[in-house]
Structure 1
Amino acid sequence: MNKKKQLLETPLVSVIVPIYNVEEYLSKCLDSLIQQIYKNIEIVLVDDGSQDDSISICKQYAARDLRIQLITQENAGVTSARMNGFLHAHGDWIMFVDADDYVSTHIINLMVQAQQTYQVDMVSCQYYDVIDGQEVPSLIRPNPGYYNQEKIRELLASNFLYDKHTEWAGVTGYLWTRLFKRCFVQAALEAGKGLVHSEDQIGMFKVLYSINSMYVMQAPLYYYVVRQGQATRSYNAVYWKNFELFFKRLQEIDQKGYLKKQIPNRAMMILKSLIKMEFTNDKLSVFQRYRSVKKNFSNDLCLLGKDADISAMGRKTRLQYYLVMHRAFFVYGAFIYLNRLLKQLVK
């Protein structure tokens, strides 16, 4: 590996920003981009049918900085907006930044430097969770360093989707915090089409399945803003079908079977989360929640989860697994209710 200490080239980097109703956060995001130390960038803003003042803010910035191009579309979701931006981008290297987040002014310069040093297809950095203005370093996943194709395959097979000791995925499943070689981006975005949740994780799996090398940086350079109400996702019945499609796509991509041992545990974790969402949906009565679980419960996800490895699970998690597999929804709902009650009493 030929390591270079200086930037020998300054390739064009396209930064794609999907935008939807983020007027409160947008200026900070755009300021962090136009102030980049690395200057050879284009900033592709894609307004996804915003109904607030976001598009006016975009126009103001586009008038001030010729590196900004603004694209508008009817509301079609983040994957569509990213694809639209990608098709209008000219750079050989692609980054995605969410419009309610912001980045270090050094992020592109340091990522390009890492790419040129290690000659890789993708560079990743770490990030901060920004919670009520406080910047909290995220859990580093995977370990920083250089990964050739063999090490990437080992990573996929070990815990890309699920780590039985932590229940975390071994790789952060986000398209932001990455610098991608252009040729890998379109397939990643297409893999996420039709999904309303976890589309980034599908995209990342497609990328890691395809690239020859990557470099993971130690430095946190991206700031993920946790908006009020964002940490607790509200229930949506669409999620059941979403995750059936999610696992179908994973299996279609995973022709070499890297995820075969991880999918059952991940499916069980998703099932538990969906049932919990149903039983904590305060818009419904307790009986309506029970009926909703029975109606929406996915037999496909249950079949995927039946081979979950429960050896490293605690007693509480093993009990949940048993209740889900035996469709003991009423008991599971009571279990969730008692947990909520205990947490409220502790407060």
Structure 2
Amino acid sequence: MDSTKLVSIIVPVYNAENYLHKSIDSLLNQTYPAIELILVNDGSIDSSGEICESYAKKDIRVKVIHQPNTGPSAARNRGMKEAGGEFLQFTDSDDFIDHRMTERLVQAIASESQLALCGYQKILTRGNRIIKSEVFRMPRNGTFSNEQFLKNFGELYQHYYIHFIWNKLYDAHLINESGLVFDTEVSWGEDLLFNLRYIEKCQNISLIPDALYYYIDSNASSITSQFRPNLYDNMQLMQGAVREFLQRNHAYTGKNKVLFENFYTSRVLTCFWNLFHPNSTLTPELTKQHIGEIIRNEWLHERACYFQAGNLEKKLIGSMIKRQSAGWLYRYYSLKSYVKKKSRPKEKKWV
């Protein structure tokens, strides 16, 4: 491994004062020596900007950029413009990483690869308490051709190894040569779209099983933590892009197809549940209207068989979709929402 090749680690920072010290310390304490840390303060209104500057004064590897709040995609794009490294690594400002993560990724990508991925650990927190910790180890190990990688796409996709950018190391030259940037018009799933475009440019991809990234889920930004009026449309956009990607690369077959469509139909259930979020602004009439629009979707009916491969609830929802039973779907989720509300302690938030 050539330890002189510079890795640019890009971190969008927005109101992360409670997590920022731990996050930055984990990045600066890497065993891989040749790093530059680019902190893009995206219009924070807490002390995040001052914290970033304090690190820049102590460590010449740290570069701080301040800009008005324009979102994580714009912040990452700005960081990429300023990056001088041969490799790019992205992290979120409320997470932290294993002290050998960068070294391990560089070792992996050095074997004629253009992309390296590792496993991750998801830590669910409430305040200062850890509620649950779950380790996601990559199911495969080694370097694979693009064709070999795509044969196992569904296996990786179902556990979100593909979706995120923070468990990966990228070739900066390939990104620049291809003109790849994050889509600032997409508010959710922009990482996935970026990764799909990048993967198509790769000849070889390396996988590391070990969970080297620590993803802190406070539930504040998770799919079920807030009402998203356009969640179904966004989900259709994301899953449609993945399906087209697989079809374009002759990988929408066999196990890949089954695993992907099972994932897609499970996301449909999440979209139904979103309509009954406590913070929903929809009237009962509009909620029923949205349900009707979803169950009339042609794509959904073409994939009705994948509901039957799920658990009892998924099979039940699938049968209601098949029968176009918008009224029964409304009653089912209304009852489920009522039961959840009654069983939830008053001081806890929606999860």
- Give the TM bin, normalised by the shorter chain: 0.7 to 0.9
Q: 5 Å matches for 1:105-124? A: 105-116=99-110, 118-124=111-117
Task: Choose the corresponding residue for 1:269, options 266, 270, 273.
Answer: 266
Match of 1:190 among 181, 185, 199: 181
Equivalence for 1:307: 302
Counterparts of 2:239 and 2:179, CA distance in 1:
15
SS in structure 2 at match of 1:23: coil
- Return the alpha-carbon distance in structure 1 between the equivalents of residues 227 and 239 of structure 2: 20
Q: 2:329 aligns with which of 328, 332, 335?
A: 332
The DSSP-based 3-state class of the residue aligned with 1:306 is helix
2-side partners of 1:346 and 1:280: how far apart?
Answer: 14
1:318 equivalent in structure 2 = 315
Deviation at 1:138, TM superposition (A): 2.3
Q: Is the 8 A contact 2:143 2:204 kept in 1?
A: yes
CA contact (8 A) 1:82 1:189 kept: no
1:58 paired with 2:76, answer no
Letter in 1 for 2:28: I
Cα distance change of structure 1 residues 76 and 223 upon mapping to structure 2, 3 Å threshold: same
Residue equivalent to 2:234: 242
Q: CA deviation at 1:257?
A: 4.4
Letter in 1 for 2:22: K
TM-score (norm 2): 0.82
Task: Determine helix, strand or coil for the equivalent of 2:170.
Answer: strand
Match of 2:161 among 162, 165, 171: 171
Report how far residue 23 of structure 1 moved: 1.0
> Match for residue 34 of structure 2?
40
Q: Provide the residue aligned with 1:212 in structure 2.
A: 203
CA positional deviation for 1:126: 1.6
* Structure 2 contact 136–211 (Cα < 8 Å) conserved: no
Q: State whether residues 145 and 217 of structure 1, in contact with CA within 8 Å, keep that contact through their aligned partners in structure 2.
A: yes
Please name the residue that 2:144 is paired with: 147
CA contact (8 A) 1:18 1:45 kept: yes
In the TM superposition, what is the alpha-carbon distance from 1:61 to its structure 2 partner? 1.0
Equivalent pairs counted in the alignment come to: 331
Q: Which consecutive residues of structure 2, in runs of 5 or more, have no partner in the other structure?
A: 346-351
Secondary structure, aligned partner of 1:279: coil
In the TM superposition, what whole-angstrom CA distance separates every residue of 1:16-54 from its partner, at most 9, and x where no partner exists? 001111111111111111222212111111112112111
Aligned to 1:127, the other structure's residue is in SS state strand
Once the two structures are TM-superposed, the CA of residue 258 in structure 1 deviates from its matched residue by 2.5
- In structure 1, runs of 5+ residues without a counterpart are 1-6, 162-167
* 1:200 is the counterpart of 2:191: yes
Specify whether residues 290 and 330 from structure 1 end up closer, same or farther in structure 2 by C-alpha distance, changes over 3 A only: farther
Question: Aligned AA for 1:320?
Answer: I
* Paired residue secondary structure (1:15): strand
Residues 314, 36 of structure 1: alpha-carbon distance in 2 compared, 3 angstrom cutoff: closer
Give the superposition deviation at 1:326: 4.6
Q: Amino acid of the residue matched to residue 154 of structure 1?
A: K
Aligned match for 2:123, one of 130, 139, 143? 130
User: RMSD of aligned C-alpha atoms?
Assistant: 3.0
Partner AA of 1:27 in structure 2: H
Q: Secondary structure at the match of 2:181?
A: helix
Contact 1:46 1:72 in 2 (8 A): yes
Partners of 2:339 and 2:295 lie apart in 1 by 33
Do the aligned partners of residues 259 and 104 (structure 1) sit closer, same or farther apart at CA in structure 2, a change above 3 Å counting? same
Q: Deviations over 1:44-75 (max 9, x none)?
A: 11112112111111111111111111112222
Runs of 4+ in 1 over 6 A off after TM superposition: none
C-alpha distance in 1, partners of 2:199/2:295? 26
Q: 1:172 to 1:249 in 2, by over 3 A?
A: closer
Q: Secondary structure at the match of 1:143?
A: coil
Which region of structure 1 is more displaced relative to structure 2, 186-195 or 9-18?
Answer: 186-195
- Report how far residue 327 of structure 1 moved: 4.3
Distance 1:71 1:270 in 2: 36
Question: Could you say what secondary structure the match of 2:309 adopts?
Answer: coil
CA distance in 2, matches of 1:173, 1:268: 17
Structure 1 range deviating more: 24-33 or 170-179:
170-179
Deviates more, 1:249-258 or 1:76-85: 249-258
Q: Report the Cα offset of residue 88 of structure 1.
A: 0.9
